[in-house]
Structure 1
Amino acid sequence: MPSFTVKDGTEIYYKDWGDESDPVVTFSHGWPLSSDNWDSQMFFLASQGYRVIAHDRRGHGRSSQPWHGNDMDTYADDLRQLFEALDLRGVVMVGHSTGGGEVARFVGRFGTENRVKKAVLISAVPPIMVQSETNPKGTPLAVFDSFREAMLKDRSQFFLDVPTGPFFGFNRPGVKVSQGRIQSWWQQGMMASFKGAYDCIKQFSETDFTEDLKKMDIPVLVLHGDDDQVVPIEASAKRTIELLPQGTLKVYPGGPHALPNICADEVNKDILEFIKA
């Protein structure tokens, strides 16, 4: 099981598929999931001649469960150390939801140098989720407080309620519900450390990525569903595209938050076309 140890002793698990000589695409997952949520995209791109790498963020999946360091800067630092350990260059970075924030913070902290050439943000949390005077279309803080309360009360049930409802859009009339997807989400979420998942709620909701987005001086593809109930498009993608120097926005009509899962074929096609452009 491939893994490496970062400077504070945390062990980070990662998947590395394809040939080492192939162009590299990295994947950063959403909360509270793991690299497993990228399997469709990874298998597709690896079959198309790409080397695909996805890690389990600290406190998530098969990585260590440290008490400290569950913050966006450290997430980006961990990923940077993975890039260095594997000597990754000319990478296309892909991030979903919280992972989109991780990609933005990575570029904001370290620049692109010769390591990053393009990025894809899918249903991503930037520029900032929480509502404020300067972000009136954001989500009220009380919503994220309710997440924390639900975790403390009954994490296992909360981690069933999220995928059963808004994450996949299974709460919409006439939508075909996949019990397998619900169980997979629950399993991935329950693998996360309680502390890591709890801390990450603050990180994905209250971190301001505005300056990070401005520093992303590379082509960036933004994919977002207009029925995203978790990260509503008006406060996220439509603001993000105004901040990116070289951004392209594609809106998925009726698309839920879980675009990589529910709209996998279209997402795979869009990523591949963007990489090749």
Structure 2
Amino acid sequence: MPYITTTDGTEIYYTDQGTGQPIVLSHGWPLSSDAWQLELKLFADAGYRTIAHDRRGHGRSSKTYTGNDMTTYAKDLSELVEALDLHDVILIGHSTGGGEVVRYAAQFANGRVAKVITAGAVPPLMVKTDANPEGTPIEVFDGIREGVLKDRSQFYQDLAVSFFGFNRDGVDRSQGLIDDFWRQGMLVNLAAAYDCVKAFSETDQAEDLKALDVPIFIAHGDDDQIVPIVAAAEKSITLVKDGTLKVYPGASHGIWGAYQEQLDKDILAFITGEDFEK
């Protein structure tokens, strides 16, 4: 399996498919590059080189005790891009991965990035503060940490229900999606899973968004129960210089079903510069 080793000795697993302009995909918590399996094939079939990595501590990468923070995640991504000598890169990030690609593009890209795409992304700031009253109370994130420590196996199964919106009337429940969420979550070592909660909830990325000098497509479901749109996409679009926001009615945090089908079409249209319905 392909790996790179970062300067601090962490092994980062990645998968690399297709040829052409590179698309690099960054997954959410507590998942892995497996979350992008459909996009890896779809975008490779469309003529792109598609690359997805397992964040440190996640999936098949090193089970790290240290470095589980947004800046180190972005540095790891930078080392992957440089090791593969990628240029004119399209970055795609979901949830925590959205924070990772935004920080990388803002602080570490060195001219290698062409466009950024986020879906259900955590920037600018998830946690509720006096300056961010629309955010989620810290007690919610404390509950996530408690769930991870107490019984992470059951917690991941329970979390998958709201992640994919299966607690909504009229939404067909997919046990397969829940099982796969659980499978990927159980690959995260406990320290990385615990520390990543702080990384995705308390990292203020307003300045990263302001610093972006490339176009960004911000996608978000208006029924996202994990990263509520009001404190995320709706604020992010006001901070970037060249942004496009598309809200997906009824879409959950998890990318699946009709939402996934439309989002993937919109991503390809954004990459090529085509218009799509906003």
1:134 counterpart = 2:118: no
Q: CA deviation at 1:262?
A: 5.7
Gapped regions of structure 2 (runs ≥ 5) = 274-278
> Structure 1: which amino acid aligns with 2:86?
L
Is residue 27 from structure 1 mapped to residue 28 from structure 2 by the alignment?
A: no
| 1:162 counterpart residue number | 159
Matches within 5 A, 1:162-241: 162-163=159-160, 165-241=161-237
Counterpart amino acid of residue 254 in structure 2? A
CA-to-aligned-CA distance 1:220-253 (integer Å, 9 cap, x gap): 0000000000000011000000001000000000
Which amino acid counterpart does residue 85 of structure 1 have in structure 2?
A
Question: Is residue 2:79 matched to residue 1:81?
Answer: yes
Which stretches of structure 1, 4 residues or more, deviate above 3 A after TM superposition? Answer: none
**Secondary structure, aligned partner of 2:139:** helix
d(CA) in 2 for partners of 1:96 and 1:260?
12
User: How many percent identity over aligned positions?
Assistant: 56
Which of 41, 44, 47 aligns to 2:42? It is 44
The CA distance in 2 between the partners of 1:12 and 1:121, in whole Å, is 22
Please list every run of 5 or more consecutive structure 1 residues that lacks an aligned counterpart in the other structure. Answer: none
Distance 1:260 1:103 in 2: 21
- Rounded to whole Å, the distance in 1 between the matches of 2:81 and 2:90 is 12
Q: Deviation of residue 260 (structure 1)?
A: 5.1
Mapping of 1:244-263 within 5 angstroms? Answer: 244-259=240-255, 263=259
Q: 1:150 offset after TM fit, Å?
A: 1.0
Q: Which amino acid aligns with 2:104?
A: F
Cα distance in 2 for partners of 1:10, 1:68 equals: 10
Structure 2 residue corresponding to 1:65, chosen from 63, 66, 77: 63
The match for 1:9 is 9
When normalised by structure 2's length, the TM-score is 0.96
Amino acid at match of 2:75: D
- In structure 2, C-alpha distance between the alignment counterparts of 1:58 and 1:180, rounded to whole Å: 25
Q: Please give the alpha-carbon distance, in whole angstroms, between the structure 1 residues aligned to 2:212 and 2:165.
A: 30
Count of residue pairs brought into register by the alignment:
273
Tell me, yes or no, if structure 1 residue 271 matches structure 2 residue 271: no
Task: Give the conservation status (yes or no) of the 8 Å contact 2:149–2:190.
Answer: no
Q: Which amino acid aligns with 1:18?
A: G
Shift of 1:58: 0.2
1:123 aligned onto 2:124: no
Q: CA deviation at 1:264?
A: 1.6
Q: Does 1:153 align with 2:138?
A: no
Tell me, in whole angstroms, the C-alpha distance in 1 between the residues paired with 2:94 and 2:78: 18
When the two chains are superposed, the root-mean-square deviation of aligned CA atoms in Å is 0.9
Q: How far is 1:113 from its partner?
A: 3.6
1:166 aligns to what SS in structure 2? helix
**DSSP-derived class of the 1:60 partner:** coil
| Paired residues of 1:168 and 1:262 also in contact (CA < 8 A) | no
Equivalent-residue separation in structure 1 for 2:82 and 2:197 (angstroms): 28
- Distance 1:260-1:271 versus aligned 2 partners, 3 A rule: farther
What is the Cα deviation at residue 125 of structure 1?
0.3
Give the Cα–Cα distance (whole angstroms) in 2 for the partners of residues 103 and 215 of structure 1.
13
Deviation at 1:54, TM superposition (A): 0.4
Query: Counterpart amino acid of 2:222?
Result: D
What amino acid is aligned across from residue 177 of structure 1 in structure 2? R
Q: State the secondary structure of the residue aligned to 1:120.
A: strand
Q: State the partner residue of 1:109.
A: 107
